């Protein structure tokens, strides 16, 4: 019997807190065999990334500690007994890691070629010219277009998918035996995500590597993993063969995670969440909550053609101009004569790859970008032709929820100040006491306690911050809300909670949504009509079910074929 490449035994990790130390990893054990892919799955706070950082020796020594009885055995040797110098020699060469966010991991002031070359300088004896040739070969292997020209390119000049390919090239530069991929496809388009998954698997097979693939997206797991380890709150809830765990999960938490994800073949009235099936302590709930029986009832979606139109875009166009050299200007057409309608109380889904023009359309509708041409009609009036003063009255009607709730909430404001400020600006409420009452009611409406009013954004999770962002939108009582990738970075259960909230608000207030996302399963679940964009063009608009079952355009077919089918 072969020896495991990596064996984590009884791992306990503690972090400093106000009351001493808090246990983040609670005695977990699992193994990775040679030439095997193990998926480490769980929601935020489960301990996935902490486990990988402990393996790489990257936990901050001043803020954390690992129990003396814990072991991380790599090729028969306990990494926890290595000196910092010895571990540094090993990591990057025999064990390498791809981090979640390439733009944060790549140094913006150095070319991507020089950053990959740095790894080879540290761990090999290759000459300068040999290193450059090796880097270009690596760029070719990971599928970077024009690899030689990319050597001197800076991270900001590459797309998200290309940046992730550079990170993969960096990770495999020294031919590691174990590759740790920490959420490598989060926030990538479905087609780019598929390309990265296929690339990682082909490299793993070609180089006979093992891989620890960390993700919160269970739909990806069946595409790449041989074995699955499911974590929650620092404890392993279930582990085993990938197909067995995904098709016949034994643990209630695994079962709940699988049920939270929107499915392409069904549309329940509301999505289940983990708390519907288990307690906070992880125990199975004896009786299923009554509203879950409503999931048997299917929600009908679609546009009949006789609905009231609340917003209409006509030949909407956006051209970006950049300077190339001293006298020459270069034009990029981001949106090409886009025309579409939004019905009252309905959801228009907007899908396409990065650079397709999805977000640009959202920003044009909000007048956060100045349109190069076209009209946007609300109540029969063109909001693009209005003065700033005229638009103020219409600004209340159309609001936007951005992708990143960490960046869109002012960290210096309390939640109360964040909610009251829009009402003050637009003269809503006779005084601050009345505005506070509205804010407290909205917090309750988005399932947050009154105590949240005096707290700051950093005290909340990502899902809670997104609820706060939704509450802020509702302070102005809008008729249209643009959701720009507003659930893309959330765990499946939190994502289900936010989608359910959006649905409840739409049912209650007859809100109209423009729902921008790269997650096609989510778009199908929430949308009545779907608009597909490619390179600034609208290539297809159809009712949600019609488009998914009978796509007409080749690009739409390409997008749908890239949806992970691992479950």
The answer to whether 37 touches 59, Cβ cutoff 8 Å, is no
Give the CA diameter of the chain: 76
Give the range among 290-294, 378-382, 487-491 with minimum mean pLDDT: 290-294
- The fold of 309-561 is Rossmann fold (3.40.50)
Question: Which residues touch 144 (CB under 8 Å, ≥6 apart)?
Answer: 150, 162, 165, 166, 169
Distance between CA 484 and CA 362 in Å, rounded? 7
Using 50, 70 and 90 to split pLDDT, how confident is the model at 229?
A: very high
> What are the beta bridge partners of residue 39?
213, 228
Give the range among 124-138, 174-188, 351-365, 502-516 with minimum mean pLDDT: 174-188
Question: Which residues touch 156 (CB under 8 Å, ≥6 apart)?
Answer: 108
563 or 468: which leads in pLDDT: 468
Task: Report the pLDDT value the prediction gives residue 288, as an integer from 0 to 100.
Answer: 59
Task: Report the pLDDT value the prediction gives residue 314, as an integer from 0 to 100.
Answer: 97
Task: Report the pLDDT value the prediction gives residue 270, as an integer from 0 to 100.
Answer: 87
- Across the chain, mean pLDDT equals 89
Q: What is the mean pLDDT of residues 271-296?
A: 71
Asked whether residue 374 carries a pLDDT value surpassing 90, the answer given is yes
CA–chain centroid gap for 499, Å, is: 14
Task: Report the pLDDT value the prediction gives residue 286, as an integer from 0 to 100.
Answer: 65
Using 50, 70 and 90 to split pLDDT, how confident is the model at 436?
A: very high
Neighbours of 370 (CB within 10 A): 9
532 or 355: which leads in pLDDT: 532
Per-residue pLDDT tens over the stretch 327-343: 777 888 999 999 999 99
- The domain locations on the chain are 309-561
Neighbours of 493 (CB within 10 A): 24
Asked whether residue 131 carries a pLDDT value surpassing 60, the answer given is yes
Using 50, 70 and 90 to split pLDDT, how confident is the model at 27?
A: very high
Distance between CA 515 and CA 185 in Å, rounded? 21
Task: Report the pLDDT value the prediction gives residue 310, as an integer from 0 to 100.
Answer: 96
Give the range among 66-75, 156-165, 249-258 with minimum mean pLDDT: 156-165
Per the structure block, which two tokens stand in for 231?
A: 């974590």
DSSP assignments along 237-250, one per residue: EEEEEHHHHHHS--
329 or 203: which leads in pLDDT: 203
321 or 529: which leads in pLDDT: 529
Distance between CA 186 and CA 226 in Å, rounded? 20
Asked whether residue 292 carries a pLDDT value surpassing 70, the answer given is no
Give the range among 86-100, 278-292, 535-549 with minimum mean pLDDT: 278-292
Per-residue pLDDT tens over the stretch 471-523: 999 899 899 999 988 887 778 888 888 899 899 999 999 999 999 988 888 99
Per the structure block, which two tokens stand in for 369?
A: 């970008």
The answer to whether 239 touches 245, Cβ cutoff 8 Å, is yes
Asked whether residue 228 carries a pLDDT value surpassing 80, the answer given is yes
Task: Report the pLDDT value the prediction gives residue 187, as an integer from 0 to 100.
Answer: 65
Specify the pTM. Answer: 0.84
Tell me the residue ranges of DSSP E strands in 422-497. 480-484
Asked whether residue 289 carries a pLDDT value surpassing 70, the answer given is no
Asked whether residue 236 carries a pLDDT value surpassing 90, the answer given is yes
Task: Report the pLDDT value the prediction gives residue 158, as an integer from 0 to 100.
Answer: 83
Task: Report the pLDDT value the prediction gives residue 249, as an integer from 0 to 100.
Answer: 93
The answer to whether 567 touches 219, Cβ cutoff 8 Å, is yes
Give the range among 22-31, 124-133, 140-149, 308-317 with minimum mean pLDDT: 140-149
Q: What is the mean pLDDT of residues 528-553?
A: 95
Element (H, E) at 264: none
Using 50, 70 and 90 to split pLDDT, how confident is the model at 290?
A: low
Asked whether residue 291 carries a pLDDT value surpassing 70, the answer given is no
Asked whether residue 44 carries a pLDDT value surpassing 70, the answer given is yes
Distance between CA 495 and CA 189 in Å, rounded? 17
% residues pLDDT > 90 (the chain): 53
């Amino acid at each position: 019997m072969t020896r495991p490449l990596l064996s984590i035994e009884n791992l306990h990790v503690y972090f400093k807190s106000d009351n001493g130390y808090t246990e983040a990893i609670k005695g977990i054990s699992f193994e990775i065999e040679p030439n095997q892919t193990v998926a480490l799955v769980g929601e935020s706070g489960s301990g996935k990334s902490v486990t990988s950082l402990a393996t790489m020796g990257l936990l901050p020594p001043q803020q954390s500690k690992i129990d003396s009885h814990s072991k991380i055995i790599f090729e028969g040797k306990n990494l926890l007994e290595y000196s910092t110098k010895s571990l540094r020699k090993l990591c990057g060469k025999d064990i390498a890691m791809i981090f979640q966010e390439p733009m944060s991991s790549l140094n913006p002031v150095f070319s991507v070629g020089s950053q990959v070359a740095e790894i080879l300088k540290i761990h090999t004896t290759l000459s300068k010219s040999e290193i450059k040739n090796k880097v270009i070969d690596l760029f070719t292997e990971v599928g970077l277009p024009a690899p030689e020209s990319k050597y001197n390119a800076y991270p900001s000049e590459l797309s998200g998918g290309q940046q992730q390919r550079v990170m993969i090239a960096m990770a495999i530069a020294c031919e590691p035996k174990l590759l740790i991929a920490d959420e490598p496809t989060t926030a990538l388009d479905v087609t780019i995500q598929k390309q990265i998954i296929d690339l990682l698997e082909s490299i793993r097979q070609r180089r006979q590597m093992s891989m620890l693939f960390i993700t919160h997206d269970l739909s990806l797991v069946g595409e790449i993993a041989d074995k699955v380890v499911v974590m929650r709150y620092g404890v392993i809830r279930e582990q085993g063969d990938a197909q067995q765990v995904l098709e016949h999960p034994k643990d209630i938490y695994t079962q709940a995670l699988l049920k939270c994800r929107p499915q392409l073949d069904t549309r329940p009235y509301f999505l289940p969440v983990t708390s519907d099936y288990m307690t906070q302590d992880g125990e199975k709930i004896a009786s299923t909550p009554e509203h879950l029986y409503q999931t048997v009832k299917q929600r009908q979606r679609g546009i009949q053609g006789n609905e009231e139109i609340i917003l209409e875009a006509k030949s909407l166009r956006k051209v970006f101009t950049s300077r190339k050299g001293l006298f020459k200007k270069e034009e990029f057409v981001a949106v090409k004569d886009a025309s579409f309608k939004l019905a009252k109380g309905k959801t228009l889904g907007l899908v396409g790859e990065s650079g397709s023009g999805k977000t640009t359309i959202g920003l044009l509708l909000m007048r956060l970008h100045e349109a190069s041409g076209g009209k946007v009609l609300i109540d029969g009036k063109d909001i693009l032709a209005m003065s700033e003063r005229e638009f103020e009255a219409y600004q209340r009607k159309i609001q936007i929820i951005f992708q990143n709730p960490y960046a869109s909430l002012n960290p210096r404001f309390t939640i109360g100040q964040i909610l009251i400020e829009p009402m003050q600006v637009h003269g809503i409420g006779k005084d601050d006491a009345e505005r506070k009452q509205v804010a407290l009611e909205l917090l309750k409406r988005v399932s947050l306690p009154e105590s949240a009013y005096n707290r700051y954004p950093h005290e909340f999770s990502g899902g809670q911050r997104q609820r706060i962002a939704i509450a802020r939108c509702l302070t102005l009582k809008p008729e249209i809300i643009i959701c720009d990738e507003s659930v893309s970075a959330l765990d499946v259960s939190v994502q289900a909670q936010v989608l359910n909230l959006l649905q409840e608000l739409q049912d209650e207030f007859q809100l109209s949504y423009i729902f921008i996302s790269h997650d096609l399963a989510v778009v199908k679940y929430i949308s009545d009509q779907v608009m597909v964009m490619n390179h600034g063009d609208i290539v297809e608009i159809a009712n949600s079910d019609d488009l998914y079952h009978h796509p007409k355009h080749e690009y739409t077919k390409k997008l749908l074929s890239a949806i992970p089918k691992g479950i």
